[in-house]
Amino acid sequence: MDEALIRSLTPGVLTVLVRRGADFAAAEDAVQDALVEAVRGWPADPPRDPKGWLVTVAWRRFLDAARADTARRRREDRVEEEPAPGPAPDVDDTLQLYFLCAHPSLTPSSAVALTLRAVGGLTTRQIARAYLVPEATMAQRISRAKRTVSGVRFDRPGDVATVLRVLYLVFNEGYSGDVDLAAEAVRLTRQLAASVDHPEVAGLLALMLLHHARRAARTAPDGSLVPLAEQDRGRWDTASIAEGVRILQAALARDRLGEFQAQAAIAALHADAPTAGETDWPQIVEWYDELARLTDNPVVRLNRAVAVGEADGPRAGLAALAALDDTLPRHTAVAAYLHERDGDLDTAAR
């Protein structure tokens, strides 16, 4: 039984059922029933069209449940006639499921959990372990999210930007429990990039690849974080860097700059430097200027102050820092770093 195949097919099957009139929770129950039947039957008799088989069986399971439940009569009336069998478009199905799981009525944490469950195919237990919460707590979170999106119909285009923010939240969780969320986010973003032609989708994928390429060098043997400047660049994944740069260049060539493309450009400049001392800081400052124009995020300006300090000297960095709110997270740490670079150890120690 090919687990990767099952995980890749499940989102499309789930979306077909929702399109046909099933609410999200009932659709997922039916899909899970079909998957159980597939696990039992496919090893001895694999179908020629796995997705079509799953759609047919899941739809029948849904109809059986709908007809058996008198409280669902109205929904049964909507879907009484089973549509004629036929291939369902993989791309559109999967894409619409991304939009549903990132629906604006969901909280960020609920959107992340539902995306990992419905699109990623992770079990509730795996998601709970990854987020270090009890399985019952995660089950309740996912159930609430399902109830929230139940009845949402696929009659409007989704918001790509919202989907990207959810995927980036998944990526930033990194690794916990028995699930590599960073790798899962890369996989899901790859899948999204195959479904929608958008430069910011490509930008996010490039950003993830460029950051993920440094993963092996990011932690010391004792588990402590290693600053970028001190990382062993020989441990960076050059294949992921090359792929990220290639994807980024293609996205930038479309001349529709977005936040994730600008962040990826900064990450690419760090990845391109053979040593920390050879980093092209002036160009990084220029990309932070672009990023600051795209987003009103004070953390961007804080990071820009660090880049200015590297490019033009610590006093220039301190001048850029002086224009920012000193209550920002990491403001004190950045100020101390720049004062230390300027030789003012007393001020840095305060």
Residues of the domain holding 206: 197-275
What whole-number distance in Å separates Cα of residue 266 and Cα of residue 210?
Answer: 10
Domain total of the chain: 4
The answer to whether residues 94 and 84 belong to one domain is no
Tokens 């609410």 -> residue: 23
The answer to whether residues 82 and 93 belong to one domain is no
Tokens 């391109």 -> residue: 272
The answer to whether residues 178 and 249 belong to one domain is no
Exposure string of 120-159, with b = 16+ CB inside 10 Å and e = fewer, is bbbebebbbbbbeeeeeebbebbeebbebbeeeebeeebe
The answer to whether residues 83 and 123 belong to one domain is no
Residue after which a domain boundary falls, among 58, 88, 118: 88
Direct distance between the N- and C-terminal alpha carbons of the chain, in angstroms, rounded to an integer: 61
The answer to whether residues 145 and 180 belong to one domain is yes
Instruction: Locate 90 and state its tokens.
Output: 């993989």
Q: What is the pLDDT of residues 337-347, one digit of tens each?
A: 999 988 988 88
Q: What is the pLDDT of residue 229?
A: 92
Indicate the pTM of the whole model: 0.80
Exposure string of 220-250, with b = 16+ CB inside 10 Å and e = fewer, is eeeeeeeeeeebeeeebbeebbebbbebbee
- Identify whether the C-beta of residue 179 lies closer than 8 Å to the C-beta of residue 125: no
Single-letter amino acid, residue 179: V
The answer to whether residues 48 and 77 belong to one domain is yes
The answer to whether residues 40 and 60 belong to one domain is yes
The answer to whether residues 301 and 241 belong to one domain is no
The answer to whether residues 94 and 185 belong to one domain is yes
Residue after which a domain boundary falls, among 230, 250, 275: 275
Q: What is the pLDDT of residue 349?
A: 81
Q: What is the pLDDT of residue 69?
A: 65
The answer to whether residues 313 and 269 belong to one domain is no
- Counting as low any pLDDT under 70, the low residues of the chain are 1-2, 69-93, 153-158, 175-179
